[in-house]
Amino acid sequence: MIRKLVAAVQGAEMGGGHSPGGAPTLVLLHGWGFSGAAWAPLRAALPAATRVLAPDLPGHGAAGDGEALADVERSAAALIGSLPSEVVCPVWVGWSLGGLVALAAARQWAGPQGVLLIGSTPRFARGGDWPAALPWAELEDFRTALRGDRRRLERRLAMLCARGSLDAASLARTLTAQLQANPAAPDGLEAGLTLLERSDLRSAWADVEAPVGAWLEAGDALVPAAVEASLQKLRPDARIGRGPGGHAEWFQRPEPLAGFISEFLSDCGTKEPA
């Protein structure tokens, strides 16, 4: 699995050439069912000199060994092992499921870094002490859907990601096309759903010695914006950004998120961790 992930990482472009040694590198980690190609709108909105990697997670895009994604620590270790040697200050940016891998990578990384959750959370499944999350029944519904028609699953996922957005119908069509152009393997989808159901990375969010931040959307149907209170309770120094749309609003309007990321990057390497 490491060999295949290395190929996926090395295939991602480093935007704007090489920055001076020690400059942060964005490592963009996509959501369930998508691939590194999904980041194209955001990458186009970032400053040209920004260093960017956008790998495919196991079982997604060009990466194989999808069953490995069920183990977040294994996936994070493989990701770290695949990074080019010039990456000395990664900023792990995880959208949706990718946020879990980002947090696990941050916990394993030894050196300067940063962590940004985009429409993501350290725990996706609702619990008594974590109310702003998905009910178990909704996660189980996705597992049932995995056994049915693939096109119907893709449309359903796209509609949920688009719900709450300013132009939800158009965005759902865009997301459906993205899912179909870069399809995830069945074992990657199955393992990714297991990861979403079982993972609890709250300790990583609370304890990682690095700047942390989160971007939340008011109309997100998958990660309730109300999770902000819980995130800030665990990490009072977190930089929190807010948008008015849904889970994938940045596909249509990436500029606000790009601006938030640029501000966060300016802190990395200068801001003292909590």
Q: 146-154 — which CB contacts under 8 Å span 24+ positions?
A: 146/186, 146/189, 146/190, 146/193, 150/183, 151/180, 154/33, 154/179, 154/180
**In this predicted structure, which of 97-101, 136-140, 198-202, 207-211 has the lowest mean pLDDT?**
136-140
Is 65 a residue of the active site?
no
Tokens 């209170």 — which residue? 229
pLDDT band at 5 (very low <50, low <70, confident <90, very high): very low
Task: Tell me: pLDDT of 14 over 50.
Answer: no
Kindly state the DSSP code that residue 66 receives in the 8-state scheme.
G
Instruction: Check 96, 120, 199, 230 and give the catalytic one.
Output: 96
The model's pLDDT over 24-81, given as tens digits with 9 standing for 90+, comes to 999 999 999 999 999 999 999 999 999 999 999 999 999 999 999 999 999 999 999 9
Core vs surface per residue 174-199: b (16+ CB within 10 A) or e: bbbebbeebbbbebbbbbbbbbbbeb
Longest dimension (CA), the chain: 50
Catalytic residue of the set 165, 199, 220, 230: 220
Residue 9 vs residue 187, higher pLDDT? 187
Percent of the chain scoring above 90 in pLDDT: 84
pLDDT computed for residue 166 by the predictor = 86
Continuous H helices in the chain? 2-10, 40-45, 72-82, 98-108, 136-146, 150-162, 168-181, 186-198, 202-207, 227-234, 249-252, 255-267
Catalytic annotation present for 247: yes
The model's pLDDT over 164-189, given as tens digits with 9 standing for 90+, comes to 998 999 999 999 999 999 999 999 99
- Of 110-119, 137-146, 262-271, give the range with the top mean pLDDT: 110-119
Contacts of 49 (CB under 8 A, 6+ apart): 15, 16, 17, 19
d(CA 122, CA 173): 29
Mark whether 18 is an active-site residue: no
Q: What is the mean pLDDT of residues 235-255?
A: 97
Q: How many Å apart are CA 186 and CA 212, to the nearest integer?
A: 32
Question: What is residue 21's predicted lDDT score, i.e. its pLDDT?
Answer: 52
User: What integer pLDDT is reported at residue 23 of this predicted model?
Assistant: 86
3-class DSSP assignment, residue 244? coil
Asked which of 96-110, 139-153, 245-259 is least confident by mean pLDDT, the reply is 139-153
